[in-house]
Amino acid sequence: MFNFDSTLIDSSNIKLWMDSNNWGGVLKNLHQTSLYPAVKEMLDELYKLDIEYAIVSSAPKGYIERALKHHKLNFNYIVGQHDVSMQKPSSEGLGKCHSHFNLEANECVYIGDSDIDYLTAKSAGCKFFGVEWGIFNEQKVPKISYRNIGEDVLGLIDTSLESNEVNSDFIVNKGNHFCLGYIMLTNYV
């Protein structure tokens, strides 16, 4: 599961509109946003592996959906600002996601760019990884590379899916599904 702004897309060029809650200005200027390097390739790789992924963000869901459409990205589930009563670092948004995917919090992974994202995952009881360009005061934040996520995911699962052998620190076997955080890999054996 991913945070959105500054995790998947670089929205720094529209930050003034965002900070002033001028969502009309934000939507008119989506062309000024860009994907971070290797985001599209990483999501394509997860899609090829039949892994579902989600977004939990403090931004409005309508903006997220329009930005995803602009960048030609699809997500299985989105929790935005108005889907929760308490914003991050409350665990409410992550809770909605792990409930949606029928997972326990400790079976989930959240990827973000800031201490708020780290604290959100920690308060929810989820594992956390920071993006390489994130800014963290917490020195223990493990970083993840989008360029290597396909290898990282494949490295967590025994190459023989029929064996159902799984690294339990990262992947949970739920019957006929393998789950990476809020991400599910269906095993069609």
150 burial (CB, 10 Å; 0-12 / 13-18 / 19+) is middle
Residue written as token pair 């990483």: 42
Average pLDDT, the chain: 80
Closest by CA position to 55, among listed 1, 117, 111, 106: 1
Most distant pair of Cα atoms in the chain: their distance: 53
For residue 152, give the H/E element and its range: helix 149-156
Would you state the pLDDT for residue 47?
Answer: 82
Would you state the pLDDT for residue 37?
Answer: 84
* pLDDT tens digits, one per residue of 57-85: 999 999 999 999 999 999 989 999 999 99
Which residues are registered as beta bridge partners of 51?
185
At position 76, the amino acid (one-letter code) is N
pLDDT band per the 50, 70, 90 thresholds, residue 25: very high
Would you state the pLDDT for residue 11?
Answer: 96
CA distance 122 to 110: 10
Average confidence (pLDDT) over 152-164: 41
Average confidence (pLDDT) over 148-164: 46
Closest by CA position to 23, among listed 67, 56, 69, 73: 67
29 burial (CB, 10 Å; 0-12 / 13-18 / 19+) is middle
* pLDDT tens digits, one per residue of 27-46: 999 999 999 988 888 888 77
At position 101, the amino acid (one-letter code) is F
Of 16-25, 148-157, 164-173, minimum mean pLDDT range = 164-173
Would you state the pLDDT for residue 158?
Answer: 36
Residue ranges of alpha helices (H) inside 11-109 are 15-19, 23-28, 39-48, 61-70, 92-100
Kindly tell me if the per-residue pLDDT of 180 is higher than 50.
no
CA distance 98 to 106: 9
At position 133, the amino acid (one-letter code) is W
